[in-house]
């Protein structure tokens, strides 16, 4: 028996009315009545009685629906099993991505990839930069989306977008009180002498994370070793903390914007040109990319640049104004 007939009887029983059931099923009333008559003729028994313009299940109708529900459940299991087997047969592309960047990019990237490559599955693995590099080298993932620098000759990469970095602090911090902040903003960070940071406490992410590497590069270029107050697993957490405490942080410009706290913070740089760590996608040099992987790289570039346009950062570094 066609399982649609079971659904027809079930809907008539739920609605108690052929017209409403037909509307809910998106078929005409005559077509539904014809189907009901066909079912009852085949079974040689009435499934409904009409009482005060309402369709009521007979005892036979109740048995029909009870057993019919079991058939529909089995059909559902069958279809899910077949769908799962179909998915298992699909080739998989595995992308490694940092959690914060994944939260911004994956909701846009995944549907685009599935539309462009319907015969492929996109599997994602979260991790920080050093972890993703190791996953690539081990062959655990196919591609990794993170930031320069790439500290191994075994990998090749393609740039996706710019990712500028500043030093951030709460506007109410002890450090910020040294400055007249009237001209300070995320888009016009103050250029300051590195010596002003020598004794300033910093919150940083733990070693191996992308922004930790950038912070260490900034400190090395400035020839300073500022004290580290606390280390965090998540970059977003430490930026939020620094927006209300006395500690400083090194942060990509997009993070305060996305967290909605840019107006609570002030921003600095020890270089006239802001550090640009660049968002990249990397893979093993020896790997021959599949067409799906090439498509994923192209789509990742589109998404990264789209996010960059939504968070426009046209910077003009300004000389610090002291109180």
**How many C-beta neighbours within 10 Å does residue 81 have?**
10
Residue pLDDT, tens place only, 7-23: 899 999 999 999 999 99
What does the DSSP 8-state code read for residue 309? H
In this structure, are residues 210 and 129 in contact, taking their beta carbons and an 8 Å threshold? yes
The span from the first CA to the last CA of the chain, in angstroms, equals 85
What pLDDT score was predicted for residue 169? 97
* Structure tokens given for 163: 């990712």
Residue pLDDT, tens place only, 50-105: 887 789 999 999 999 999 898 988 888 888 777 666 555 568 899 999 887 888 88
Which domains are delineated in the chain?
3-87 (1.10.10.10), 90-162+279-310 (3.40.190.10), 164-277+313-319 (3.40.190.290)
Burial 309-320 (b: 16+ CB within 10 A, else e): eebebebebeeb
**Residue range 108-123: mean pLDDT, rounded:** 91
Name every residue whose Cβ is closer than 8 Å to that of residue 179 and which is 6 or more positions away in sequence: 190, 266, 320, 321, 322, 323
**How many C-beta neighbours within 10 Å does residue 274 have?**
18
* Structure tokens given for 274: 């802001």
Give pTM, 2 decimals.
Answer: 0.61
- Cα separations (Å) of 105 from 72, 89, 233, 302, 303? 38, 26, 20, 10, 7
């Amino acid at each position: 028996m066609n399982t649609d007939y079971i659904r027809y009887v079930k809907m008539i029983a739920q609605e108690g009315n052929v017209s409403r059931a037909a509307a809910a099923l998106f078929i005409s009333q005559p077509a539904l009545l014809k189907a009901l008559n066909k079912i009852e003729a085949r079974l040689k028994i009435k499934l409904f009685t009409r009482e005060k313009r309402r369709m009521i299940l007979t005892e036979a109708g109740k048995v029909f629906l009870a057993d019919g529900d079991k058939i529909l459940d089995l059909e559902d299991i069958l279809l899910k099993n077949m769908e799962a087997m179909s998915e298992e047969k699909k080739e998989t592309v595995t992308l490694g991505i940092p959690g914060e960047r994944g939260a911004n990019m994956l909701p846009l990237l995944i549907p685009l990839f599935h539309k462009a490559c319907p015969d492929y599955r996109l599997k994602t693995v979260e991790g920080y930069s050093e972890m993703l590099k190791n996953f690539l080298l081990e062959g655990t993932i196919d591609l990794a989306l993170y930031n320069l620098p790439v500290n191994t000759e075994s990998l090749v990469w393609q740039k996706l977008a710019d990712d500028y970095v500043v030093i951030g602090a709460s506007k109410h911090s002890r450090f910020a009180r040294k400055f007249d902040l009237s001209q300070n903003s995320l888009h016009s960070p103050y250029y300051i002498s590195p010596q002003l940071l020598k004794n300033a406490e910093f919150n940083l992410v733990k070693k191996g994370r992308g922004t930790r590497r950038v912070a260490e590069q900034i400190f090395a270029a400035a020839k300073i070793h500022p004290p580290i107050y606390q280390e965090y697993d998540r970059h977003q957490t430490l930026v939020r903390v620094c927006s209300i405490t006395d500690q400083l942080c090194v942060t990509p410009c997009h993070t305060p914007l996305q967290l909605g706290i840019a107006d609570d913070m002030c921003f600095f740089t020890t270089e006239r040109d802001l550090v640009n760590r660049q968002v990249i996608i990397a893979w093993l040099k020896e790997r021959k990319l599949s067409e799906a992987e090439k498509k994923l790289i192209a789509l990742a570039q589109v998404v990264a640049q789209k996010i960059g346009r939504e968070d426009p950062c046209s910077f003009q570094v300004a000389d610090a104004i002291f109180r």
